[in-house]
Structure 1
Amino acid sequence: MAVHKLNFDDAFDEVLYTLIAMHCSLEDYRLAYLLNKNLGISLKRKSEDLDYSSGLASYSIFEWEDSKQLITWNLVSNICKTQIIQKADYQSLFNTTQTKTFYLLPEYKAVNYFLKIDSEFSFSKEKFILNHILSMPQIVTAYSINTNQLQSKENLIFS
């Protein structure tokens, strides 16, 4: 009997994207406004947040689809703090609340926001974008992340 082997290596190409980490203490809507103003983009809040960890964690996400260059820009928060209410047990009279912190990319716990650009730019274009982000006084620091070394890259699939 003949053996047929299917090779799917070429069918599922890895999606190319640039990921920029940003450290700042701004609210998400203020950061989106500043990025729009300084980079000439039009990020808008999506109607639904990213929902992970069985509904315990949701992350705000802003998106802009550049139809001229066929590039999708996403600004997503990395930190989600939720309050978990623990019911009173027989030893206590009151319910207690506990704040639990979840991270979109746990290996980058110090990062506040990620800017994901669904297109691989040349080094000079990426450096241009980073310089514009770093020129904003509200941004403490920003840097590119090597996406090949990410352990939780499945969290960056937004569709």
Structure 2
Amino acid sequence: MAVRKLVLDDVFEEALYTLIAIHCTIEDYRLAYLLNKHLGINLVRKPSDLDCKKDKSAYSIFEWKDNKQLTTWNLVSNICKTQETLPQNNQQSLFSTQEYITKTFNLISEYKDVNYFLKIDNDNNFSKEAYILSHILNIPQVVTAFSVDVNQLKSKDNLIFS
């Protein structure tokens, strides 16, 4: 009896999207507006945030589907800050105060200093990466932006939005 072996290594290795890291200090809606203006796209906030169950964090996400180019653009926040209350100790005091602790989580933990990621999904060969990167760098509020090699990421599963 013949034994057949199915090898799927080549299927899952190739990333079919471009990922651009953006470092800036402005709010997410403001960056989406500036990207729309400078790139000629139409990013719109999705009704629900991107939730990570393991660390109970949520990341804002904007999306635009370009039907002419068969491309999906996503702008996602990389940083989530949550505030938790510390448990009260049983000491009685004149002034009872709540103490809070702020925890910071990252969607892509390898890039902790990056504020946002622009993910461009395209099944075809996407050749406008340098053009897009130069336009993003021309935005005065953006400190820096650079391309990310998706195949080197350990937490690339967090970039699956659908």
Q: Please give the TM-score of this superposition, normalised by the length of structure 1.
A: 0.89
Q: How does 1:116-127 map to 2 (within 5 A)?
A: 116-119=119-122, 120-122=125-127, 125-127=128-130
Out of 106, 111, 116, the residue aligned to residue 108 of structure 1 is: 111
CA distance in 1, matches of 2:53, 2:84: 13
Shift of 1:108: 0.6
1:115 partner SS: strand
Give the 3 Å change call, closer, same or farther, for CA 146–13 of structure 1 in structure 2.
closer
RMSD: 2.0
Partner in structure 2 of residue 146 of structure 1: 149
> Which residues of structure 1 form unaligned runs of 5+?
none
Tell which deviates more after alignment, 142-151 or 13-22.
13-22
CA distance in 2, matches of 1:118, 1:155: 14
Contact 2:81 2:104 in 1 (8 A): yes
Out of 144, 154, 161, the residue aligned to residue 158 of structure 1 is: 161
The one-letter code matched in structure 2 to 1:137 is P
> Which residues of structure 2 form unaligned runs of 5+?
none
Q: How does 1:17-36 map to 2 (within 5 A)?
A: 17-36=17-36
The one-letter code matched in structure 2 to 1:62 is F
Q: How does 1:49-128 map to 2 (within 5 A)?
A: 49-54=49-54, 56-90=56-90, 94-119=97-122, 120-122=125-127, 125-128=128-131
The one-letter code matched in structure 2 to 1:156 is L
CA deviation string 1:85-124 (max 9, x = no partner): 22213357654211000001111111110100012522xx
CA distance in 2, matches of 1:147, 1:12: 12
Partner in structure 2 of residue 131 of structure 1: 134
Q: Please give the TM-score of this superposition, normalised by the length of structure 2.
A: 0.87
CA distance in 1, matches of 2:43, 2:23: 18
2:31 partner SS: helix
Shift of 1:55: 5.9
Shift of 1:135: 0.6
Contact 2:14 2:151 in 1 (8 A): no
Give the 3 Å change call, closer, same or farther, for CA 11–109 of structure 1 in structure 2.
closer
CA distance in 2, matches of 1:79, 1:91: 36
**How many equivalent pairs are there?**
157
